[in-house]
Amino acid sequence: MKRWDLRRVLPMIIAPIAALVLAALVSSAALLISGKDPLEAFSAMFDYAFGPNSGPDVTTEILNKATPYYLAALAVAIGFRMGLFNIGVDGQSRLGILAAGALGAASFLGVVPGPLRVVIMIIVAMAVGAAWAAVAALLKVYRGVSEVISTIMLNFIGGAIFAYLLTTERLGVKAVGGEIVSTPLLKSDSWIPGMSLFAGTANKMFGFAFVAIACGIAYWFLVGRTRFGFDLRATGLNPSAAVASGVSPKRMVIATMLLSGGVAGLVALPEVLGRDHAVTTSTPALGFTGIAIALLGRNNPVGIALAALLWAFLDVSNLPLDLLDIPKEIVTIMQGVTVLAVVVAYELAARVGRRQQQRSVGAATGEAAIVTLGIPAAIAAKLGVEAVSAPVEPPDSTAPTDPTVPGKHREEQS
């Protein structure tokens, strides 16, 4: 069992709050410099998002915005946990959703019952996203191409393929009088109904949000509670140690990229299944947003959820700022500062935590020395430790076990 060490946990809770406060201060300073009232800006944002007039509608909107953000960040986080930088979520999600949207509306699938078609769409979106990520994975494994470079480039290629396919000559159609191309409208039996959360608005929360939550739980289980997840984290923390413990790095790279790409394929599904019912050119891809949110959420499934909600809040609630003559770019400053500050704050918190831990380990070993070596109490008192009679438990078991010991990790995970 993990022991909750307050001295280690507390800095980790304070860090994000401090980062948010810092971000608010920096954006307030920017507003003050440009002669605007920061309080007016923040209260306008809060009022728009949660106030009695627009609140019900806009809060739902924020949740709906956060759902694809969450999925995009999860996709990125899977890679992060083993030290892989999947910047290609953008391309993976676009190709995935295009394939799913086109197939879901295809006439030859018309006989298939709606719910089954939804399942097919989800599988296809994941498969295509994973396949696109596999290109980068294979390049890395067999040719040593950095996934940072290859995934960025694949974003452009994916975008171009998307643009090529989504035209009226190929997969796209155009509504009467419309200018914008989309895939054909999905049949209404394969729409995922929304949920009314608040009275006073017709806006509904995406039903797909539950799939996103399920993905978060699956991510937590996979990374934290399985052999695969342990190998993944071990490889991320110390690749050579992981190799020594019998982990195949090639297998891990491919499996992780496939998973990451698969989740990336889901990114646009909440909106396509729940609201737009067609893949349009404004269907979001969100690769870079996902990276920022994963960083902000520290790759933790709950942390990412909070980060996605914060990001969505900022993105949605900046709308009325223009009406008050306040540049809404202030929100972009805030998002940037928050991510930077969180990264710095967590590094500081980790250092503080480590120092605390070292201190307590030092004290514990000191105590152990007194017990086992029989150091006289007088000397012990001089050393500043209290003599104890029983051996002390190691103070912290949350750090991964030394992965250089082969076979040991299996028991540790149970």
Partner 1 sequence: MAGAAIVALGMTACGDNGGGATPTATKKTVKVGLAYDIGGRGDKSFNDAAAAGLEKAKTDLNIEANELEAGATETEQDKYNRLKLLCQGGFNPVIAVGFVYAGVDPANGPVAKAAADCPNTKFAIIDSVVDKPNVASLVFAEEQGSYLVGAAAALKSTTGRIGFVGGCKVDLIAKFEAGYIAGAKAAKPDIKVDVNYLSTPADRCSGFNDPAKGKTAAEGLYDAGADVVYQAAGGSGVGVFQAAKAKGKKAIGVDSDQYNTVDPALKDVIITSMLKRVDTAVFDFVKSMGEDKFAAGVQVFDLKKEGVGYSTTGGFVDDIKTQLDDYKAKIIAGTITVPTKP
List contacts with partner 1 (CB under 8 A): 48, 53-54, 61, 64, 159, 162-167, 172, 175-182, 271, 275-276, 278, 280-284, 316, 319-320, 322-323, 325
We find the least distance from the C-beta atom of residue 287 to partner 1, in angstroms, to be 11
Tell me if residue 127 falls in helix, strand or coil: helix
Residue (54 or 92) nearer to partner 1, CB: 54
Residue (329 or 386) nearer to partner 1, CB: 329
We find the least distance from the C-beta atom of residue 24 to partner 1, in angstroms, to be 22
Residue (255 or 319) nearer to partner 1, CB: 319
We find the least distance from the C-beta atom of residue 280 to partner 1, in angstroms, to be 5
CA angle 103, 286, 131 (to 5 degrees): 45
- Max Cα separation, the chain? 93
Rounded alpha-carbon distances, angstroms, from residue 344 to 19, 99, 221: 8, 40, 28
Residue (83 or 327) nearer to partner 1, CB: 327
Residue (270 or 353) nearer to partner 1, CB: 270
Contact between 291 and 93 (Cβ < 8 Å): no
Query: For 77, phi and psi rounded to 5 degrees?
Result: -65, -35
Residue (178 or 407) nearer to partner 1, CB: 178
Neighbours of 263 (CB within 10 A): 33
We find the least distance from the C-beta atom of residue 148 to partner 1, in angstroms, to be 22
We find the least distance from the C-beta atom of residue 46 to partner 1, in angstroms, to be 15
Tokens of 333: 């400053």
Residue (159 or 249) nearer to partner 1, CB: 159
We find the least distance from the C-beta atom of residue 48 to partner 1, in angstroms, to be 8
DSSP string, 154-218: HHHHHHHHHHHHSSTTTT-EE-TT--SEEPPPPPGGGPPP-B--STT----B-TTHHHHHHHHHH
Tell me if residue 374 falls in helix, strand or coil: coil
State the Cα–Cα distance between residues 397 and 384, nearest whole angstrom: 25
We find the least distance from the C-beta atom of residue 310 to partner 1, in angstroms, to be 18
Question: What is the amino acid identity at position 4?
Answer: W
Residue with tokens 């309080």: 39
